[in-house]
Structure 1
């Protein structure tokens, strides 16, 4: 089996605890293409992830934005990712010390990400290990690109991985928050807050002042009737599952 052979070869160079491969295309729920988890672990790493948290994952955003090569989570995460509600409510359940991935771009705006994971007991990847993985990246990308070159879309995937499509366009994403009486700009800010961006980072991304961002955030909380990031995250998951 290709995946097992590839992992055995990678383990000759670097140690890791788990591996998972997801396919990404727009906002479609990503099919899981390969995993090394037990059934209990798979519920957290795969099933819960596919319910909506993937839309806030730095790996997901990097994949659909066209990133390619080898990347560590810490290189892609927004400035407040590790204090975000996504991190507290979902990501901490994984017990990971670090996650790194090989990002492979395929035709039709599709991407595959092969994630290598280190649990807390193993610690993060060391400098030499990261260097080795970067050196291996060109070959890994080539092999994965050939293996998954005919990756089916979410509509044509086998029953085991086929999942309903979620809003894929900026219009549809705006509609998600418009249903909650938020303006287009407020919807943009909500999405960035949920991903783990600070007010300063949001201001830079949108070209507005930090003060303006904070005013928008207060208005968002008032309109949604929430008082915390936890409430915002819960509302997001509720809306996503309602639209699925």
Structure 2
């Protein structure tokens, strides 16, 4: 009963807030205690530019450094919540494993980002602002802790119905028209423009498959997503690897990170 009263009190205070800073303070204080989380992030995603970090609470210095160095530059494009945010027409709230690609936890992105930050689980909610923009609220746990139990995941999903509309409204009030970042290149285009010596560039389909591979999708999942057979996916993959002069998914991820050929 006391927990329910505390939650109603928290949501009531959220509804009355009029600044993003006040929302951050209230949300971090409540969620870090109730959900035993090691990070609270609020991000505004865009389809054609890098994300805006509305606020971040990252007490762990290593996690903070990795997030600042890696996530906003490239990592966000491989984040399942980024994809969810721009594909879902309304409010969506999930535990990471509910929306992650089938090979996500064996992907190089998972190893490089989650391995470095020691994150073990995430609860996230997204809500569209317009056709090309969405806000995202995330709670994460680090190594040494268990995944979020089902009861907390359900609780977060219910609370998101209040938190996300308020976050959307406050983000627009704080910065209604964020400036476009020049030179933004999405994931598919990054692969289309990768060239190794005089080898031909990847086709649109090959670049699309390359992007799905580094996100953590298996050949079968890619085939289902694109409406082609997994054998066709494997043929595209083999031809793509030949053009890029690589032989593994790890090397493909390495090219994405570096943006240069192995021999340059």
Could you say whether these structures have the same fold, taking a TM-score greater than 0.5 normalized by the shorter chain as the test? yes
Once the 2 structures are TM-superposed, how far is the Cα of residue 154 of structure 1 from its aligned partner?
4.8
The match for 1:32 is 53
Task: Flag structure 1 segments of 5+ consecutive residues without an equivalent.
Answer: 157-162
The match for 2:206 is 186
Task: State the TM-score, normalizing by the size of structure 2.
Answer: 0.79
Partner residue of 2:138 out of 94, 105, 115: 115
2:86 and 2:67 map into 1 onto residues whose CA distance is 20
The match for 2:23 is 2
Q: How many residues align?
A: 231
Partner residue of 2:169 out of 146, 158, 165: 146
Q: Which consecutive segments of 4 or more residues in structure 1 shift more than 4 A?
A: none
Partner residue of 1:65 out of 87, 91, 95: 87
2:179 is equivalent to residue 155 of structure 1: yes
Once the 2 structures are TM-superposed, how far is the Cα of residue 179 of structure 1 from its aligned partner?
4.5
2:260 is equivalent to residue 237 of structure 1: no
Would you say the 8 A contact 1:103–1:114 is kept in 2? Answer: yes
Distance 1:178 1:146, change over 3 A: closer
2:73 is equivalent to residue 51 of structure 1: yes
1:175 and 1:10 map into 2 onto residues whose CA distance is 37
Would you say the 8 A contact 1:85–1:194 is kept in 2? Answer: yes
Partner residue of 2:188 out of 166, 169, 173: 173
Task: Flag structure 2 segments of 5+ consecutive residues without an equivalent.
Answer: 1-21, 196-200
List per-residue Cα deviations over 1:181-236 (Å, max 9, x = no partner).
11111111101111111000111111111111111111111100112112101111
2:116 is equivalent to residue 93 of structure 1: yes
2:230 and 2:139 map into 1 onto residues whose CA distance is 36
List per-residue Cα deviations over 1:74-123 (Å, max 9, x = no partner).
11111111111111222211101101112122135211111101112221
Task: State the TM-score, normalizing by the size of structure 1.
Answer: 0.86
Larger Rg: 2
Partner residue of 1:221 out of 228, 231, 241: 241
